[in-house]
């Protein structure tokens, strides 16, 4: 998947309520900020090294608080889903996209291909998305939503609903994998 992964986490927390957020599903958006701030040389995933810049770009928590890196208080719920937003994010996304696209590093060329749909959306260039890229983004967003549904159900002590959300996630992830992973990418 282009940026949705359960294998890696990038945990942040709300300074006001302690609610946790995993920025790993926003790897492309965070990566664009990273490339803008630190350049493409030695590129790595995650928010480490750009936390200060990124913190000012994230949407507010449901409680109105701001997010900071790290897990915060033990046992805090992990149900928040902030996202980078605003004109400053769009400016950084454009600079980061340019840095990634112009890099001679073959690893980054592959990343550019995988992140293209998310980058175009971050840049406000949705009109350039192909039908397949639009579908890719919808499926990714729905998979993240199902992971959130599963986590909420587990937190509420409802294993049946958690299992249902997980089963739907697996079904959707299989569809996604058949369509977008392996071989050449459409669009």
Averaged pLDDT, 106-119 = 92
What 8-state DSSP symbol labels residue 59?
A: P
pTM: 0.83
Say what the pLDDT of residue 151 is: 85
Helix, strand, or coil here: 62? coil
* pLDDT classification of 2: cutoffs 50, 70, 90: very low
51 has a pLDDT exceeding 90:
yes
Ramachandran angles phi, psi of 43, nearest 5°: -55, 140
Tokens of 129: 């998305």
State how beta strands 11-14 and 20-22 pair: antiparallel
Which helix (H) or strand (E) segment holds residue 163: the answer is helix 159-180
5 has a pLDDT exceeding 60:
no
87 has a pLDDT exceeding 80:
yes
pLDDT single digits (tens) 141-187: 999 899 889 988 998 999 999 999 999 999 999 988 888 876 454 55
């Amino acid at each position: 998947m282009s940026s949705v992964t359960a294998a890696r986490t990038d945990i942040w927390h709300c300074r006001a309520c302690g609610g946790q957020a995993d920025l790993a599903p926003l790897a492309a958006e965070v990566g664009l900020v990273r490339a803008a701030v630190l350049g493409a040389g030695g590129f790595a995933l995650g928010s480490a090294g750009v936390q200060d810049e990124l913190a000012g770009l994230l949407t507010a928590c449901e409680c109105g608080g701001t997010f900071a890196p790290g897990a915060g208080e033990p046992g805090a719920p992990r149900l928040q889903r902030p996202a980078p937003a605003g004109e400053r994010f769009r400016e950084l996304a454009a600079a980061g996209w340019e840095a990634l696209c112009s890099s001679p590093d073959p690893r980054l060329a592959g990343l550019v291909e995988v992140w293209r749909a998310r980058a175009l959306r971050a840049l406000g260039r949705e009109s350039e998305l192909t039908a397949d890229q639009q579908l890719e983004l919808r499926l990714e967003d729905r998979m993240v939503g199902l992971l959130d549904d599963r986590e909420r159900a587990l937190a509420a002590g409802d294993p049946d609903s958690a299992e249902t959300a997980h089963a739907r996630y697996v079904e959707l992830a299989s569809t996604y994998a058949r369509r977008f992973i392996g071989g050449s990418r459409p669009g």
